[in-house]
Structure 1
Amino acid sequence: MVALGSCVLFLWQLPAAGAPDEVSQHEIRYLLTQLETSGCEFFRNGDWYDARRARQHIQRKYAWLVKRDLVASTEQFIERAASGSSRSGEPYLVRCEQGEAMPSADWLTNELTRLRNDAAASGAD
């Protein structure tokens, strides 16, 4: 019960952000799809989950935040929905192909950078 109260208090303190614009919505959908199809494992609150379950969890958390106007950008999505547990405060981790686990925020930011670089390169042609 204390953890739930802490979670609500933390989220209550976040400033309202509005709704994500079309570009951010596209990027967020892309990141969720990349995670789900990555074959990576996702660590949350002491357990490893497959990428499909990771997407489901993050998508539910994202939807909750959007309903409350707490995510307006892709960076806020990563920070508020996909970086760590609001229950335990522990960071989420991603591990691909039995490699080293890394913070999910880093993994998602790398994927976002790749998407934006690819978009910039294709727009420069």
Structure 2
Amino acid sequence: MNRCPRFLAVFAVFALSLAAAAVSAAPTAKAQHEIDALIAGLGSSGCEFERNGSWHDAKAARAHLQKKYDYLRKRDMADTAELFIERAASKSSMSGKAYRVRCRGKAAEPSERWFRQRLQTLRAAPTH
């Protein structure tokens, strides 16, 4: 009886399991800082946040996105700021409708664009 094919099959399953574990990792300290800063930045922005056709103040928007992020974080589904933006801050997971941000004196814009611009600014800032 040839055991080589069976060994290879077991090895392949093991290797794929390791690869999957590596992909779904906790955020790095830098990524966690960026995500926290994005959520806090919305909360302190004074902007309004539209979800599912209703506008909410920045404090309510922050609480909503923190709740969504906590859900994703427990499932290792948002380990980078980009994944947070894509999976939590861009659209409703219930309706699929895009979120929008409206800041004083400016037209409403897709929240994905707003968060990506904030992330770019955050990354461009000098670190201390």
TM, length-normalised to structure 2: 0.79
Which protein shows a greater Rg?
A: 2
Distance 1:25 1:85 in 2: 22
Structure of greater relative contact order (alpha carbons < 8 Å, 6+ residues apart):
1
Structure 2 residue runs without a partner (length 5+): 1-19
Structure 1 residue runs without a partner (length 5+): 1-14
Deviations 1:17-63 (A, max 9, x none): 32111000001111111101100000001100000000000000000
Deviations 1:48-105 (A, max 9, x none): 0000000000000000001011111010000001110010100000000042111111
- Alpha-carbon RMSD across the aligned residues, in angstroms, is 1.5
| Structure 1 match to 2:85 | 78
* Aligned-pair identity (%): 49
Aligned length: 107
Distance 2:25 2:88 in 1: 15
| Structure 2 match to 1:117 | 124
SS state of the match for residue 52, structure 1? helix
Q: State the 4+ residue runs in structure 1 displaced beyond 4 angstroms.
A: none
TM, length-normalised to structure 1: 0.81
Distance 2:37 2:104 in 1: 21
Distance 1:50 1:64 in 2: 22
